Amino acid sequence: MKHVLIIGSGISGMACAVRCAERGLRVTLASPFPSERSQSVMAAGGINAVLPEGEPGDSVSSHVEDTLKGGCGLGGERAVTGLCEHGGEILRYLEGIGTVFSVDGHGRPLRRAFGGQSHKRTYYCGASTGKQIVSALVMEARRFEAAGLIERRLWCCFHSALIEDGVCHGAMLFDEARGGLEAVYADAVVIATGGQNAMFGKTTGSTQCDGYAAGKLFMQGAELKNLEFIQYHPTTLETPQKRMLISEAARGEGGRLFTRADGRNIYFMEEKYGPGGNLMTRDVVSREIDALGGNVFLDISFLGKDAIDERLPEVRDLCAKYGGIDVTREPIPVEPSVHFFMGGLAVRLNHETNIRNLFAVGECASMYHGANRLGGNSLLAAIYSGNVAADEIASRKEEAPAHPDFSGVLEHEKARLAESRDTQSQFPVMYIRDMLAETMQKRLGIVRDEANLMKGVDDIDYYLSIAGRLNYDPNVMPYFNYSLTAILTLARATVTCALSRRESRGAHWRSDFPETDEAQRSATIIKYDGGKYSVRLDEERAYES
Amino acid sequence: MKVRILRQQFPGSAPYWETFEYDGPEDNSVAGVLDYLNYHDDIVDADGKRTTRIGWECSCLQGICGACAMVIDGQPALACETFLRDIQGKEITIRPLQKFPVIHDLVVDRSSIHENLKQADVCIGEYRPSADADHAHQYAAAKCLKCGLCLEVCPNYVNGETFFGAAFANDCYLVASRNRAEDRRIRTVYAEHFAKTCSKSLSCMEVCPMKIPTLASMAKLNRMKR
């Protein structure tokens, strides 16, 4: 029986695990914490699908068209078509495993409008769609755990992949509970570790998602793609510790953005883009808010208490708890924040990276969304990508090559870890992580330019130059200490990609190159080789078509 | 403000109290306080002596993942949604959940919650709803964070070996109501691991960050018997 090691137990990791188990594969599902702690539970607004009983006139081809258009021509047509064609099936699947969707009086799932979409096709569970899907998938995974097909390994952090001659044979995991490093061999490894939010410090995302796995695999030879495309969500609430996401559902249900000038409210999105202005794509709305320099509010109070209580209770509670705002009576002060990463590990249609038997799914993989993601497509892509990878692994007939002996590498890494703990230093790696976050926020904002990006390169190169020379505090989780260099390397790669794309497209906006250049209508691919970063455009479309 | 924390270096080692002086923002949450103590400057105790960084778990920082469950001033709560403005007096005491094995400081191993649900095979399997399904309550029950606060406060829950607590009861309700073919089997495990021991103090409902009305889950499961 084939053995699949899945790193990360959010929605994409669980979807992949369940699908593998359904196909008779044995799965190890490794993550530091249970699925309930994953960033997936924070996905709020909904999941896109075209169902026969959906909005009249809607079709899979409309969904494909909207997704490609939203992605500003960088999403691959074959990949996106596959995603959208499976939307209906995935929605039925989620219903079938017991996801508690919001439903009408006949028990049919409800839809709401979402940004950049020609039809109302975003199915939802209040404003906690991700949480409800996680709850259902946890139960489904549990069924296969009880049957012995899925083994959950908690407290396990990814350390590195076991790669020889371009083939992945498993991964090294650091077990926080047992305090040890171990090699886990597998016929296929699936990375499902989410985006790199923590690289930016305060974002809408989880503190757990830091991009380490993508950075480490990059250093081990995996190619990365489209790193410069970082989605700023237009409506977040600033709090001392994080940016709270005010779901796009608030605008989908009718919420209006305005700014105040000369004592009156100016509904700037509607004035510029017409009645649908509040639901333009996220890149456009974020840029408009950024251009105003603050003083922007989102008003849902006119929807009335009943509608808010019924359809947006999570938005109501979040604003009350963290902002002291009664959304039924007053507007919400909002500003854009880093929210989602369109870039990540480069994968082919079957979700395999350039390293044989190493797959990536969910947000850590770069696929479908091009230069800007549509709301409601990330949950769909998380499940679809997990399914695609599982089907590919299950359908491979050839025997996986025998695993080489990695015990020498394991012993070497164990010794390095022991060395890093054998120190009296008080220097916390978090100080460098904080400096990195400040750099990333400052240099990779909504609008970029070469001079600013070059300062980012200088900053990160400096952090990289000292990262290897410092002794770190042995009292924090070893993960924080061993992960730093790869996170910095990923950050360096991101700024390098942003510098190399000398045009404006989707979420990548350059004030020094404000036009879109059709000659650059291809994905950015970046490769790492011993400290050197080489960037190219994927003009042959090797990765997504 | 003084912050007293019950600490423990590793599983099985002796716990000890340590006091810190907090001089950060007054509008912070307890999660913010822990972060501030750890990384605002070198970490020292209230006497200025160097000490080790405080271990605690966090992910969402907005009350929807359950990672930062701990006991704050005697009350089981999420650190990210407990604010200094709501704390009486000039001192806070923080200790780890006591019903679970401590891994390090405020980090505990709550895997027994999941293991018990797995052992009792509490899974929907296939959606076959009951005719009189209460959708709003199902939505509420499915929001359970598995944070363990309900178990920490429960007078009947000891270590999860026989009585599995409110998190178990709510998942049982969810399965029984969303797959009618499972309701008989689920009611059996529910009776064995919850109903026969629960003394209905209902303290679980008071501390639940998702405000899940567990009493309604119990009533609905009982009603299915008829």
Q: Looking up tokens 């305005």, which residue turns up?
A: A258
* The pLDDT of residue B15: 98
Residues A223-260 have pLDDT tens digits of 999 999 999 999 999 998 899 999 999 999 999 999 99
In chain A, residues with a C-beta closer than 8 Å to the C-beta of B171 are 139
Q: In what order do the strands lie in the sheet with A524-529?
A: A365-366, A344-346, A224-225, A524-529, A532-537
Kindly list the domain boundaries of chain A, sorted by start residue. Answer: 234-338, 407-537
Task: Write the CB contacts of A80 (distance below 8 Å, at least 6 apart in sequence).
Answer: A64, A67, A68, A71, A368
For residue A236, the model assigns a pLDDT of 97
The CATH number for A234-338, chosen from 3.30.70.1230, 3.40.50.300, 3.90.700.10, 3.30.420.40, is: 3.90.700.10
Q: How many CB pairs under 8 A join A and B?
A: 137
Of A98, A126, A176, the CB nearest to B124: A98
The DSSP string of A187-199 is SEEEE-----GGG
At A424 the pLDDT is 84
Predicted confidence at residue B225, as pLDDT, reads 67
- The backbone torsions φ and ψ at residue A174, rounded to the nearest 5 degrees and listed phi first, read -105, 120
**Which stretches in chain A have pLDDT values below 70?**
none
State residue A397's pLDDT score: 85
Bridge partners of A533, per DSSP, are A528
* Coil, strand or helix at A328: coil
In degrees and rounded to multiples of 5, residue A257 shows phi and psi of: -95, 140
Measured between alpha carbons, how far is residue B36 from residues A222, B33, B54, B69, B83 in Å? 37, 5, 11, 18, 14
CATH class held by domain B111-223: mainly alpha
CA nearest to B122 within chain A:
A139
A238 touching B (Cβ < 8 Å): no
Residue A386 CA to residue A7 CA, distance in Å, equals 12
With CA atoms as reference, report the closest residue to A378 among A198, A130, A134. A130
Structure tokens belonging to residue A359: 């797959």
Among B31, B43, B55, the residue with its CB nearest the CB of A241 is B31
Residue A432 host element (H or E): helix A429-443
* Residue A38 touches partner B, C-beta closer than 8 Å: yes
DSSP string of A301-327? GGG-HHHHHHH-HHHHHHHHHHH---T
Domains A234-338 and A407-537 share a fold: no
B167 contact A CB<8A: no
| Closest-approach residue (CA) in chain A for B43 | A426
Rounded to the nearest angstrom, the minimum Cα separation between B226 and chain A is 24
Cβ contact, residue pair A139, B124, below 8 Å:
yes
Q: What share of chain A is helix, strand, coil (3-state, %, to 5)?
A: 40, 20, 40
Nearest to B59 among A37, A322, A430 (CB): A37
State yes or no: is A348 an active-site residue.
no
Pick the CATH number of A407-537 from 3.90.1300.10, 3.30.70.120, 1.10.3980.10, 1.20.58.100: 1.20.58.100
Predicted confidence at residue B226, as pLDDT, reads: 53
Angstroms from B152 CA to nearest CA on chain A: 18
pLDDT at A186: 97
Nearest CB neighbour to B139, from listed A39, A126, A318: A126
H helices present in chain B, as ranges: 30-39, 111-119, 135-141, 149-153, 166-178, 183-190, 203-207, 214-223
Is the Cβ of B210 closer than 8 Å to some Cβ of chain A? no
Count of beta carbons in the 10 Å neighbourhood of residue B20: 24
Say whether B111-223 and B2-108 share the same fold. no
Cβ contact B127–A95 (<8 Å): yes
Beta bridge partners of A526: A224, A535
Q: How far is A93 from chain B (nearest CA, A)?
A: 10
Residue A519 phi/psi, 5° resolution? Answer: -65, -20
Residue A401 confidence (pLDDT): 75
Q: With contact defined as beta carbons under 8 Å apart, do A535 and A497 qualify?
A: yes
A32-77 pLDDT, tens digit per residue, is 999 999 999 999 889 999 999 999 999 999 999 999 999 999 999 9
User: In the predicted model, what is the mean pLDDT of chain B?
Assistant: 94
Q: Which of A18, A33, A36 to mutate to test binding with chain B, by most B CBs within 10 Å of its CB?
A: A36
* 3-state percent helix, strand, coil for chain B, nearest multiple of 5: 35, 15, 50
> Cβ of A407 under 8 Å from any chain B Cβ?
no
Say how many CA atoms lie within 13 Å of A42 toward its Cβ: 28
Domain ranges, ordered by start, for chain B: 2-108, 111-223
Q: 122-161 in A: which are within 8 Å (CB) of B?
A: 125-126, 128, 131-132, 135-136, 139-140, 142-143, 145-146, 152, 154-155
Question: What is the widest separation between alpha-carbon atoms in chain B?
Answer: 65
In single-letter form, the type of residue at position B106 comes to L
Nearest chain A residue to B125, by CA = A97
pLDDT at residue number A10 = 98
pLDDT the model gives residue A331: 97
Q: In 3D, which of A363, A369, A330, A125 has the Cα closest to residue A247?
A: A125
Dihedral sign from CA coordinates of A225, A236, A258, A124? positive
Domain B2-108, second-level architecture: Roll (3.10)
